[in-house]
Amino acid sequence: MMYRIDFSSVAKAEADAAFLSFSQFTAADRSQAWYQGLIRAIVSLQEMPRRCPIARENNFFSQEIRQLLYGRGKQAYRILFTILDDQPIPTVRILYIRHVSQKTIGEPDED
């Protein structure tokens, strides 16, 4: 089964912000290659999105949240998504694109 990919406005903004951040300290062709790789990783979710593990945010949402890791080291990102099988066309909804060092969504702030 093939899934349609749908981006939330938040995920689009986070992808752009990650690209801009990466382009601040690396060559333009390298940052462009990183961004194209990010898009290829997301497009790979059209097939078998359930191959990806449940995200640590899963307990904070009413829908199942999965993650796909992209990149290595300081440039590793977590692509958080949900699978919507109840749509006319089964859809993978990209919710967030977050750096691996960012706090878990939904966790209370530490005092």
Distance CA(18)–CA(27), nearest Å, equals 15
Structural domain containing residue 26 = 4-99
Q: Is residue 106 part of a domain?
A: no
Residue 105 within any structural domain of the chain: no
Residue 109 lies in a domain: no
Flag whether 76 is in a domain: yes
Q: What is the domain count for the chain?
A: 1
Residue 107 lies in a domain: no
pLDDT at position 25: 84
What's the pLDDT at 72?
Answer: 86
CATH number of the domain residue 57 falls in: 3.30.2310.20
- Are the C-beta atoms of residues 7 and 89 closer than 8 Å to each other? no
Look at residue 68 and tell me if it is in a domain: yes
Please report whether residue 15 resides in a domain: yes
Residue 46 located in a structural domain: yes
What DSSP string runs through 56-110?
GGGGGSSS--EEEEES-GGG-EEEEEEEETTSSS-EEEEEEEEETTSPPTTPPPP
Instruction: Report how far residue 111's alpha carbon sits from residue 109's, in angstroms, rounded to the nearest whole number.
Output: 6
Each of the 111 residues of the chain gets a pLDDT tens digit; together they read 899 999 999 999 999 999 998 888 888 898 899 999 999 999 999 999 999 999 999 999 999 999 999 988 888 999 999 999 988 899 999 999 999 999 888 877 665
